[in-house]
Every structure is written in structure tokens, then in C-alpha cells.
Amino acid sequence: MAKIRGDISIDVEKCKGCELCVVACPQDAVALSSEINKQGYHYAVLIEDVCTGCTSCSLVCPDAVITVYREDRKSKKKTPVAEVRNVTGDIKIQVGAEEGN
Ligand code: SF4
Ligand code: SF4
């Protein structure tokens, strides 16, 4: 059975380079960039196109800067399946596609 195709987006300017996502990724798809962001941190980047959309990186990120997507193979539509928002206030954790998607 084919693996699920996933993707992530990282808000690199808010990343603090803690590497938790690097360690958490079972696909070894995330690494720290050699570049630094405006805060002076080496930020996380997706280095391999092998993401399965497992959500591990997003769930461990203490700064809530990773959104994970899973791609519908038929429609090619990408749906966010893991988002952590508003860490200074209410926290929203969503794992799995929202109803209706
Ligand atoms: S969603 Fe899973 S496979 Fe994809 S980059 Fe994050 S930890 Fe790795
Ligand atoms: S876990 Fe979050 S803050 Fe830490 S390196 Fe990854 S994206 Fe950056």
C-alpha cells in the first residue's frame, strides 16, 4: 500500500532551532538550515520529499510553527491536519482532517 503523501510548512522566522522536530521525524526529513533567521537561530527546513504527514514534528514543536498537510492523491488537494496556534493564549491542536474535508 502506498504511503500517504505529506508536506509541512514552517514559519522559519519564529523557529528557535531547538531541533525537537528533527529528532521527532521518523523519516529524517527535517534538518536545521545552515542559514539563520532574524532571531539568529538556525531554523528547521524540510530536506527530503518523504514526509508522510505523521504530525510528529508539529506536535513536539514548542513554538508551534509547523503546519502539517496531507495530500489527497485524487484531487491533489492539501489539507492541514496538525496545527498548533496561539501558544500565548488559547491552544488549538487539531490532528486529522476536519469534517467535510
Ligand atoms: S509530518 Fe512526520 S514525516 Fe512529515 S516532516 Fe513532520 S515528522 Fe517528518
Ligand atoms: S521544533 Fe519548532 S522551534 Fe524547534 S527547530 Fe523545529 S520548528 Fe524550530
Query: What are the distances in angstroms from CA 47 to CA 34, 83, 95, 98?
Result: 12, 20, 23, 28
Residue 60 CA: which ligand 2 atom is closest?
1
Tens of pLDDT along the chain (101 residues) come to 456 789 999 999 999 999 999 999 999 999 999 999 999 999 999 998 899 999 999 999 999 999 999 887 777 788 777 776 655 555 566 666 655 44
Q: Which domains occur in the chain, in start order?
A: 6-95 (3.30.70.20)
Q: Nearest C-alpha to atom 6 of ligand 2 is from which residue?
A: 21
Cα angle for residues 49, 28, 69 (degrees, 5° grid): 50
Strand, helix or coil for residue 7:
strand
Nearby residues of 77 by Cβ (< 8 Å), 6 or more positions away = 71
- At residue 14, the pLDDT reads 95
Q: Is 8 in the pocket of ligand 1 (CB under 6 A)?
A: yes
Grid cell, residue 30, equals 527535517
